[in-house]
Structure 1
Amino acid sequence: MARRHGAELDTAIRTAVLTLLAEHGPGGVTMEAVAAAARTSKPVLYRRWPDRASLLRDTLMRIATTAIPHADTGSFRGDTLAVLRGWAALFTGPDAAVLKAAVAAAAHDPELTAAFRDDVIGWRKREMAALLQRGIDRGEVRRDVPVEIARELGQSVLWHRLLITGDPITEDLLVALVDDVLVPFVAPR
């Protein structure tokens, strides 16, 4: 078997992490198990990540940063809709089971909890604050908007549907969240 490098190896490793996480929870994501599942060696993993927590954190961050858009579309509405569509695609796509497993397992794994809260959710909070600031700068968002609430409103509905109710996440829901809840909430008065 030829040695894999670059993107091919990276994909195999990250797929192994996600598969192990979904099937066995974070405790199943060991360097040995990932190496075996990705058909590589532990030294290859240790050259890139110092430990399993770093590997988990990096994999979760990669999912979030590639799935959730963070570019400026030119409007608060467009930016927010793009973010919610990214979450919706993630929550209804092949990684939905992994996200559910990661969140459920985090209650019993302080390393995973820290990685998810500090890195993935922390990154989203910073990105949403920047999105709101762009809206303020364009005059679409009032200067006194409570950022800590506005940055979570739409996303929290999607997380609730993913983890609690199981209700569908549809395009109509996304548009209603943006047009009927978020834009009116942040609009200058």
Structure 2
Amino acid sequence: MSPSSTTADGTDHRRRPRRRGAALEAAILDAVLAELTEVGYGQLSMERVAERAGAGKASLYRRWPSRVELAMDAVYHAFPDPAAPPDTGSLRGDLLAVVRGVAEQLAGPAGRALAGVLSDALGDPERARQVRSHSRGSSQAGMREIARRAIARGEVDPAVVTERRLETGHALVRHHFLSHGAPIADDVLVEITDEVVIPLLQLR
């Protein structure tokens, strides 16, 4: 049994039952996150992920031609669905719930994956293209839903809601993460919400 086919508890990944479809994809993405926890993005390999997930390498390469694309999908897999944000009953509560959820995930293996992918993409046009192609825009869809609720409650004037204003909160969280790392202090998230996002959405 080779060392790369086992985890710390001695489990041999090759003896796990083979899965298909959505179950196999979930197992692969979970394996990516586990590998990131153990070895980091720099040492992430398709071979180790396949072994950990009990999958064939060919099935990985058919779906993910590169580890950039694999890691990006693992990031999305780890994050809660941003298109369905929590409904707290207030604009401020919804915004804080979203940015706190993002910050929590950035402090874990998903954050390490994202940092590694973006570092890989710097100065490499092809990898930068791969990252852009995997951008799903789902965080913006979630912000539109938050704005829709706030408009219905009378908290926000629909005339001031624009795409640029809606993307500001996530952009500032990502900037802070890339500049300062994780974890992101809660007071930073509160400042982004109270000093920037809410004023932008409540302009008169």
Fold shared, TM-score > 0.5 on shorter chain? yes
- Distance (Å, rounded) in 2 between the aligned partners of 1:178 and 1:135: 14
TM-score normalised by length of structure 2: 0.69
Change (3 A) 1:16 1:187: same
Q: In the alignment, is residue 52 of structure 1 matched against residue 65 of structure 2? A: yes
Taking every aligned residue pair, what percent have the same amino acid on both sides?
Answer: 33
Runs (4+) of structure 1 moved beyond 6 Å?
none
One-letter amino acid of the structure 2 residue matched with residue 113 of structure 1: V
Which residue matches 1:83? Answer: 98
One-letter amino acid of the structure 1 residue matched with residue 201 of structure 2: V
8 A Cα contact 2:92 2:193, kept in partner:
yes
Q: Which moved more, 1:37-46 or 1:134-143?
A: 37-46
Q: In the alignment, is residue 112 of structure 1 matched against residue 133 of structure 2? A: no
Structure 1 runs not aligned, ≥5 long: none
Q: In the alignment, is residue 96 of structure 1 matched against residue 111 of structure 2? A: yes
Q: Which moved more, 1:52-61 or 1:80-89?
A: 52-61
TM-score normalised by length of structure 1: 0.74
Q: In the alignment, is residue 183 of structure 1 matched against residue 202 of structure 2? A: no
- Distance (Å, rounded) in 2 between the aligned partners of 1:66 and 1:101: 22
8 A Cα contact 2:107 2:182, kept in partner:
no
Change (3 A) 1:174 1:56: closer
Cα shift readout 1:105-138 (whole Å, capped 9, x = no counterpart): 234315531344x32xx11112212211221222
Which residue matches 2:168? Answer: 153
- CA RMSD in angstroms, aligned pairs only: 3.2
- State the shift of 1:91 in Å: 2.0
Cα shift readout 1:162-188 (whole Å, capped 9, x = no counterpart): 112448621122222222322222125
Q: Secondary structure at the match of 1:65?
A: coil
- State the shift of 1:100 in Å: 0.3
Structure 2 runs not aligned, ≥5 long: 1-14
- Distance (Å, rounded) in 1 between the aligned partners of 2:182 and 2:50: 37
